[in-house]
Amino acid sequence: MAISTAEIVKAVVNPAISIIRRTRTISAACSGVGSGTAVSVMQVSSQNHSGRLEITVAGDEGSVRLDRVLAARHPDLSRSRLKGLILAGAVSVGIAAIRDPAYHVARGDTITIDLPEPAPAEPEGEDIALDIVHEDDDIIVIDKPKGLVVHPAAGHLTGTLVNALIAHCGASLSGIGGVRRPGIVHRLDKDTTGLMVVAKNDRAHQSLTGQFADHGRNGPMERGYLAFVWGVPSRQRGTIEAPIDRHPHAREKMAVRESGREAVTHWEVKETFAGRDSKPVASLLACRLETGRTHQIRVHLAHVGHPLMGDSVYGPHFKTKASHLGPESQAALAGLARQALHAYLLVLEHPKTGDILRWESPLPGDLLHLKMKLEAAL
């Protein structure tokens, strides 16, 4: 039962992007247009989000609290960032600095915000090659290779995606929470390949965080993965609903546990592969996440008896299955040296324009090689 790679995913030419224009209605009250609100912006850098902002309170912001009025007028600054600015004395009403986020303002008050230059990122930038699929002032989408850790942590303080993005983006990072750093809103495991989006400013970070939290329930967000698994499911498609929590004994692992958080994975069989005895031995599944738990696909598929090929953490007891493969397939699997998982699809709403953006990534070379050998049953 073989299908071509092109039938599974469409090849991507960098930058590969599909845009669906969607009309947005912006209320006059929110934008200030036609509301009688006087809003002036002076000495502000659109790239660096530094300088001075001056706002005249219109009285129609929906609250009299200082922090909420500022959030209504400047949704591009996160609430936590605004609170930090207020507590730091960077916000004045009239000529007096106000350090109370709950301070009540009145119609006609002039609020001044002094935005400092974003602080340098704590991780240092490193010149690491990136496969950039799309980049603009708000977001950057990359096709992550295997072996690249996303964020600095114990054991991986350098050589990460964050280090690479700090160096690549430079001054175009306007700051997340006042720090010049990329906004990581989702992650891929070190040895999982595929598409990732990263925010370059507070506004984009807020939007993407909300979209990933919603997981496409009420919006366009969609994340698709291709997974090579052991065995063949008894049905063509299905859904795994099983809560995930830390493993009770191996703390570096996750596990299906009643105490865990909700986790939902949808899957569909795209292709099946026979072993050298002509009996089905493995499958290619397309998976879609409805939640985003750590190691979710790996844990869920192992839980239902179809662990990822090459997954030494969640499927080591399936190593004997490799003996059913032909010698060339066994060699391709051994050469993989990682879990056979690729994030091939990413759909989201652009944080600024509202456009629906779609990217697809073809299988990387090592997984394509494995697929070819499995199809040939060699």
Residues that are catalytic: 189
110 and 53 in contact (C-beta within 8 Å)?
no
**Helix residue spans in the chain (DSSP H):** 5-8, 28-31, 66-73, 79-87, 161-169, 202-214, 296-303, 327-336, 365-376
Strand, helix or coil at 348? strand
CA distances from 285 to 27, 205, 262, 269, 301 (A): 44, 31, 22, 5, 10
196 and 186 in contact (C-beta within 8 Å)?
yes
Q: Which residue pairs from 154-163 have beta carbons closer than 8 angstroms and sit at least 24 positions apart in sequence? A: 157/123, 158/123, 158/124, 158/126, 159/126, 159/128, 160/123, 161/130, 161/196, 161/198, 162/121, 162/123, 163/123, 163/124, 163/125, 163/126, 163/128
| Phi, psi (deg, nearest 5) at residue 334 | -65, -40
H or E stretch at 343: strand 341-349
Provide CB contacts within 8 A for 364, sequence distance 6+.
145, 146, 193, 342
| SS3 annotation, 215-266 | CCCCCCCEEEEEEEEECCCCCCEEEEECCEEECCCCCCCEEECCCCECCEEE
Strand, helix or coil at 317? helix
CA atoms of 203 and 357, how far apart (whole Å)? 17
113 and 91 in contact (C-beta within 8 Å)?
yes
Residue 159 tokens read as 């050589």
Closest CA to 225 of 277, 279, 278, 189: 189
